[in-house]
């Protein structure tokens, strides 16, 4: 088996694994930084234990080990170094030259190194209005219908902060993007989960990711008078589904009837391989209750730039912008400018079409190893994740899984096993389901294919080692 030199392919290295940062720093109150009154009471009351004062708030103090740290731990413990990291959805290659040049150029301009308006740089809002017009059917008003955020993630936090009061319910489909959960819980929202169901034959046949379905009766039953928002993600992470127009219409009808705000997470909106519809464009009634989310990180292969946006009616965007102002005031200026130039020039560079062609070719290349091995997978309709079904892989009965992995659903054991035995990291998707529904995906693993072809080929070579474990 080939081993790649870490020097030439740093993206293979274990150091690329990271914990997902906490959304907010853990609050600390060291006595030395307290007011004199507080300090006196801390020291004078023996009943007040310092350790309690230093305790983090419950919202950031979850004690179950998250998937990212388990995968990190497995990677560090694996004898197969360096690991091929197909787990996290960061790109293994740079944004295109014209966008990098725009970023470098922006750094030389005085005004690009200072605060931007809290709603974002006018040039970027105008560029977004122009770039979205063909798929939206009209030009959004850059002054009132678009607001720039620090990545899509902070944009969604701003949306929940803007509309959720404690006890309000938010419908989230499983599997979910994990950051939704803390973002909803932060303002006191209650999440009501509705599972997506994989196709019944998903363990024996490769089928379109579109075969993952919502049960609309389950969705109707999830709606209560307290339902304030519904989150939808299309193209979908991790499933790769692009919701059909008919499915979106059914969801929209429920939301219009019950006056539920739709948060449509469309961060993969430039990577679709079947027709893609924006839910906001179904009708003026739907547009009036929809916030659409975008991400420069996903559009331009620059997840570290932290530039995102929310678009929707002025009556909703106004409050998202107000929350964003309180959370981080404004977003990174030179990279907003670079994104503006990116949108202005993308068509001239055929960037959107080449993005699709290149990602599709990565999907085709990588999934060919599953075809070879007879491992079925969900053929992505959009995005850059592939969900493969490992029900045919038999894990050795006496395999020494650590207890905290042995106690999790089978996909965690599969992920651990792949990292230890083959040196390939993938993500167990049951992390994106509630405990009650985790069994739905316990045979699946998620692979991110947004990596250089040589990394994909290395992963494929290693995955061939699964042959001896397939029945
Ligand atoms: C579905 C989904 N939404 C939002 C995000 C976050 O996007 P951003 O990096 O712009 O915050 C991600 C990132 O992985 C994602 O997969």
Cα–Cα distance, 419 to 68 (Å, whole number) = 13
Tell how far the Cα of 84 is from the centroid of ligand 1, in angstroms. 22
Which residues are 448's β-sheet partners? 385
* Across 399-407, average pLDDT: 94
Would you say the CB of residue 449 lies under 6 angstroms from ligand 1? no
Q: How confident is the model at residue 389 (pLDDT cuts 50, 70, 90)?
A: very high
Burial 217-240 (b: 16+ CB within 10 A, else e): eebeebbeeebbbbbbbbbbbbbb
Would you say the CB of residue 82 lies under 6 angstroms from ligand 1? no
DSSP helix/strand/coil, 160? helix
CB-CB contact of 290 with 262 (8 Å): yes
Closest CA to 28 of 3, 4, 49, 55: 55
Would you say the CB of residue 266 lies under 6 angstroms from ligand 1? no
Tell how far the Cα of 91 is from the centroid of ligand 1, in angstroms. 13
* Model confidence pLDDT, tens digit, residues 87-123: 989 999 999 999 999 999 999 999 999 999 999 999 9
Q: Which of ligand 1's atoms lies nearest the C-alpha of 295?
A: 10
**What are the structure tokens assigned to 147, written together?**
């607001």
* Across 429-450, average pLDDT: 96
Would you say the CB of residue 308 lies under 6 angstroms from ligand 1? yes
pTM of the full structure:
0.89
What per-residue confidence (pLDDT) applies to 31? 33
Would you say the CB of residue 238 lies under 6 angstroms from ligand 1? no
Cα–Cα distance, 455 to 354 (Å, whole number) = 20
Collect all residues with Cβ–Cβ distance below 8 Å to 233 and sequence separation of at least 6.
Answer: 173, 176, 177, 264, 265, 266
CB-CB contact of 410 with 429 (8 Å): no
Tell how far the Cα of 149 is from the centroid of ligand 1, in angstroms. 12
Tell how far the Cα of 234 is from the centroid of ligand 1, in angstroms. 12
How high does pLDDT run on average in the chain? Answer: 90
Cα–Cα distance, 284 to 137 (Å, whole number) = 11
Percentage of the chain modeled with pLDDT above 70: 89
* Model confidence pLDDT, tens digit, residues 316-350: 999 999 999 999 999 999 999 999 999 999 999 99
Domain boundaries, the chain: 33-64, 97-345
Cα–Cα distance, 348 to 255 (Å, whole number) = 38
Q: Which of 91, 291, 298 to mutate to test the pocket of ligand 1 (most atoms within 8 A of CB)?
A: 298
Q: 97-345: what fold?
A: 3.40.640
Would you say the CB of residue 297 lies under 6 angstroms from ligand 1? yes
Residue 459: is the preceding peptide bond cis (ω within 30°)? no
Helix (H) or strand (E) segment spanning residue 214: strand 213-214
Closest CA to 264 of 155, 138, 346: 155
**What are the structure tokens assigned to 206, written together?**
């490769």
Q: Which of ligand 1's atoms lies nearest the C-alpha of 307?
A: 10
Query: If you take atom 16 of ligand 1, which residue's CA is the nearest one?
Result: 237
């Amino acid at each position: 088996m080939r081993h790649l030199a870490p020097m030439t392919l740093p993206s293979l290295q274990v150091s690329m694994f990271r914990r997902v940062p906490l959304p907010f720093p853990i609050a600390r109150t060291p006595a030395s930084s307290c007011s004199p009154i507080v300090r006196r009471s801390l020291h004078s009351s023996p009943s007040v234990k310092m350790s309690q004062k230093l305790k983090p708030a419950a919202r950031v103090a979850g004690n179950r080990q998250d998937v990212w740290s388990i995968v990190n731990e497995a990677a560090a413990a694996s004898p197969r170094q360096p690991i091929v990291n197909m787990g996290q959805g960061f790109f293994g290659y740079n944004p295109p030259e014209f966008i990098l040049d725009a970023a470098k150029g922006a750094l030389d301009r005085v005004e690009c190194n200072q605060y931007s308006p809290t709603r974002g740089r006018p040039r970027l809002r105008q560029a977004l209005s122009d770039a979205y017009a063909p798929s939206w059917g009209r030009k959004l008003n850059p002054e009132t219908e678009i607001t720039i955020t620090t990545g899509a993630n902070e944009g969604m936090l701003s949306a929940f902060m803007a509309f959720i009061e404690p006890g309000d319910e938010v419908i989230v489909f499983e599997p979910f993007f994990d950051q939704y959960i803390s973002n909803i819980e932060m303002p006191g929202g209650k999440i009501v989960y509705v599972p997506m169901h994989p196709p019944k034959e998903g363990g024996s046949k490769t089928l379109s990711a579109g075969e993952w379905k919502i049960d609309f009766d389950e969705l109707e039953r999830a709606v209560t008078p307290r339902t304030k928002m519904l989150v939808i993600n299309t193209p979908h992470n991790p499933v790769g589904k692009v919701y059909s127009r008919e499915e979106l219409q059914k969801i929209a009808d429920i939301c219009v009837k019950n006056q539920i705000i739709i948060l449509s997470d469309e961060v993969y909106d430039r990577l679709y391989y079947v027709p893609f519809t924006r839910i906001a464009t179904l009708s003026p009634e739907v547009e009036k209750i929809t916030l659409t989310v975008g991400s420069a990180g996903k559009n331009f292969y620059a997840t570290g730039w932290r530039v995102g946006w929310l678009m929707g009616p002025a009556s909703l965007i106004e409050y998202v912008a107000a929350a964003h102002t309180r959370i981080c005031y404004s977003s990174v200026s030179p990279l907003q400018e670079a994104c503006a130039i990116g949108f202005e020039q993308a068509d001239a560079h055929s960037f959107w079409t080449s993005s699709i062609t290149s990602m599709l070719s990565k999907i085709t290349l990588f999934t060919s190893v599953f075809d070879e091995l007879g491992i079925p997978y969900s053929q992505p309709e959009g995005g850059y994740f592939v969900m493969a079904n490992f029900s045919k892989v038999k894990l050795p009965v006496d395999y020494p899984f650590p207890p905290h992995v042995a106690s999790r659903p089978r996909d965690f054991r599969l992920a651990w096993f792949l990292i230890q035995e083959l040196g390939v990291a993938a993500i167990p998707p049951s992390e994106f389901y509630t405990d009650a529904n985790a069994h739905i995906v316990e045979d699946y693993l998620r692979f991110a294919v947004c990596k250089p072809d040589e990394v994909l080929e290395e992963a494929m070579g290693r995955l061939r080692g699964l042959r001896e474990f397939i029945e």
